[in-house]
Amino acid sequence: MRKQGTITWVSWLVMLTMVLVACGGGDDGSSSTGPDETTAATSADVESTTGEETTAESSAETMASDDTTAETSAETSAETTASASGEPSVIRFSFAPDPVWDYLIDTGELAKWEEENNITMETSATWDEFTYFAGGHGDIVSIGTQELPVLEGETSIETVSFGKYNFQRSPMMTRADTGYETLEDVPPGSTICVSSPVSNTTFWTVAMNELHGIDYRVGGGDYELIVNDHFVNPQNLLNGDCEAAVVIPEAAAPYLRSGEIVIMYDGLMPFQMVSQFEGIDSDEQHDMSNLFTSTEEYFDSHPREIKAFLALWQRGLDLWAENKAEIIATYPQHFSVEAEEDIEFIQSFMEGDSDWFVESVYLDEQWIEDELKILDLMVDLHPDNPNKLPEDYSVPRFEAVAP
């Protein structure tokens, strides 16, 4: 509408000018502009006016395009600002004390990675990553698969698990002279030593229900589960205070080495038993004790940092596979051993199939599908079991990130 009004006004001006020129054409000595010149000038005005409007419209379109570009740029600014300004990105990472992490630091691999990626790792070493993450103090934590629904349910934090690191490793043990091979051999009502009502008990409560139909839980069920520290329970077992105990292998290393304590279920670790559960038919090992998990907000807005983080830990796992014995000997405190013979026992133990470190940090869609099946089995637990999930539980988000 605005264009049409402008052109009509200019046309009227042209006609009026022509009339005035015609009336004054015989005025000798007058200094008037001729019709051709006037028309040319007026046409120039028209072209100028129309051109200005066209330019204005083009400018408006350009501004709109710039706005769209600005919006798109804003979405990736978190990824590019640091690189452009030279300021490093920061990843706040919480993790339990770990030998591979120490090895990455002491070999200079971490410093090299930080320089190459312009990223700084701010770490917090804690055994209670759950509380650290729930308090909003970290971007990435390590957490077990079966803990994820509890974390999201209790904190309303939306998470994304994008990498794997350690399998669930706490086997069930007994004294060598009991002859117990499975929990089914242990008289109902007997005392079982455990380290927590959750954690590895979450795995074993599912395993006992799936394999034997046993109600296994703290505070009820078919056995009396008593809670003590991992490093106290082996002695409690030897003292006869319990008939079986679920303990991390390194806590029982001296007694496993001497043969006083043996691992039940044919010496299998939890991650080696999952394939025996109905509905889980996988050639890969499952049930993670340590996944790499971030808040959904952080994962979605920091793809560069997530990818670099996984590359760092894959480098760590490669170094672990190549230097297992050296790492164990260098950091025996991480395996709870001091005596040379116990260090050698753990070195031998970890060289076999019982190594609870994964080969690859990366997830794939089939692995994710199979890993999540263990959560469905938690729905079938006894109604009074604190680890039971409701039928409509919210499935935690997992994402496969390419190397």
| 292-312 pLDDT tens trace | 999 999 999 999 999 999 999
DSSP output for 115-161 = HHHTEEEEEEE-S-HHHHHHTT--SEEEE-GGGHHHHHHHH---EEE
Do 172-268 and 89-168+288-398 fall under one CATH topology? Answer: yes
Residue 97 has pLDDT above 70, yes or no: yes
Rounded distance, CA 101 to CA 74, Å? 34
DSSP assigned state of 165: E
> Nearest CA to 288 among 202, 213, 208?
202
Give the pLDDT of residue 17. 41
**pLDDT of 279:** 82
Q: Is the pLDDT of residue 172 over 70?
A: yes
What is the tens place of the pLDDT at every residue in 274-294? Answer: 988 888 888 888 999 999 999
Instruction: Give dist(CA 85, CA 142) in Å, integer.
Output: 31
Could you tell me which residue, 14 or 112, shows the higher pLDDT? 112
Mean pLDDT of 389-399: 94
Residue entry with tokens 């005025």:
27
The residue that leads in pLDDT, 281 or 68, is 281
Distances 383 to 191, 198, 215, 388, 390 between C-alpha atoms, Å? 22, 16, 10, 7, 9
pLDDT digits (tens, 9 = 90+) for 306-345: 999 999 999 999 999 999 999 999 999 999 899 999 999 9
- Judge whether 194 and 219 are in contact, CB under 8 Å: no
How far apart CA 37 and CA 297 sit, in angstroms, is 68
The confidence band for 361, taking pLDDT boundaries of 50, 70 and 90, is: very high
In this predicted model, which residue has the larger pLDDT, 354 or 27?
354
pLDDT higher than 70, residue 11: no
CATH topology of domain 89-168+288-398: D-Maltodextrin-Binding Protein; domain 2 (3.40.190)
Indicate the domain borders of the chain.
1-17+38-51, 89-168+288-398, 172-268
Q: Which of 57-71, 83-97, 159-173, 266-280 has the lowest mean pLDDT?
A: 57-71
What is the share, in percent, of the chain residues with pLDDT greater than 70? 76
Distance CA 206, CA 382 (A): 10
pLDDT of the residue at 80: 44
Rounded Cα distance between 149 and 386, Å, is 12
CATH code: domain 172-268 is: 3.40.190.10
Residue pLDDT, tens place only, 369-392: 999 999 999 999 999 998 999 999
Mode of pairing for the β-strands spanning 216-217 and 288-295: unpaired
For residue 100, give the nearest of 199, 162, 166 by alpha carbon.
Answer: 166
Joined tokens for residue 249: 């292998």
Whether 24 shows a pLDDT value over 50: the answer reads no
- pLDDT confidence tier of residue 366, bands split at 50, 70 and 90: very high
Listed in sequence order, the residues at least 6 apart from 284 whose beta carbon sits closer than 8 Å to its beta carbon are 367, 370
Mean pLDDT (the chain, rounded): 81
